[in-house]
């Protein structure tokens, strides 16, 4: 699942459990949430993204991807995000 322009912070916690993980990504407009289908592994991946990948099965030109940040040679880009684990 990919969320666009959603909250820039997400917290995962189990019902009845005080443990939680919070990912804060104020500069990233997309958030991917996924789990490998067909497995019983107890995890969910949280992936903040600055731009979207190409559509599945399509090979789009890199420079045509929406919201892609392209830097000139020697250019710089900073992005701040955090992960907080509470037990």
- Three-class secondary structure of residue 62 per DSSP: helix
According to the model, what pLDDT value does residue 70 have?
85
Query: Does a structural domain hold residue 79?
Result: no
Question: Per-residue confidence at 69, pLDDT binned at 50, 70, 90?
Answer: confident
Judge whether 56 lies within some domain. Answer: no
Residue 19 in any domain: the answer is: yes
Residues in the chain: 87
Distances 11 to 4, 5, 26, 38 between C-alpha atoms, Å = 17, 16, 14, 24
CB neighbours of 60 closer than 8 A, spacing ≥ 6?
Answer: 54
For 25, counting Cβ atoms within 10 Å of its Cβ (0-12 exposed, 13-18 middle, 19+ buried), the class is buried
Tokens describing residue 55: 């559509």
**pLDDT, tens digit, 9 for 90 and up, residues 12-57:** 898 888 899 999 999 988 888 888 889 888 888 988 988 887 777 7
- Is residue 76 included in any domain, yes or no? no
Residue 42 lies in a domain: yes
Domain that holds residue 13: 1-51
Q: How many domains does the chain have?
A: 1
9, part of any domain: yes
Q: Is 57 part of a structural domain of the chain?
A: no
- Are 2 and 29 contacting, i.e. CB atoms less than 8 angstroms apart? no
In a domain, 75, yes or no: no
pTM above 0.75, yes or no: no
pLDDT at 80: 92
């Amino acid at each position: 699942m990919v969320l666009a322009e959603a909250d820039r912070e997400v917290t995962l916690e189990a019902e009845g459990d005080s443990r939680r993980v919070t990912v804060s990504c104020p500069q990233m407009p997309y958030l991917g949430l996924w789990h490998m289908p067909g497995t019983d592994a107890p995890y969910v991946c949280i992936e903040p993204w600055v731009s979207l990948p190409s559509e599945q099965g399509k090979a789009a030109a890199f420079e045509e991807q929406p919201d892609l940040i392209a830097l000139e040679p020697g250019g710089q880009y900073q992005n701040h995000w955090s992960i907080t684990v509470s037990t």
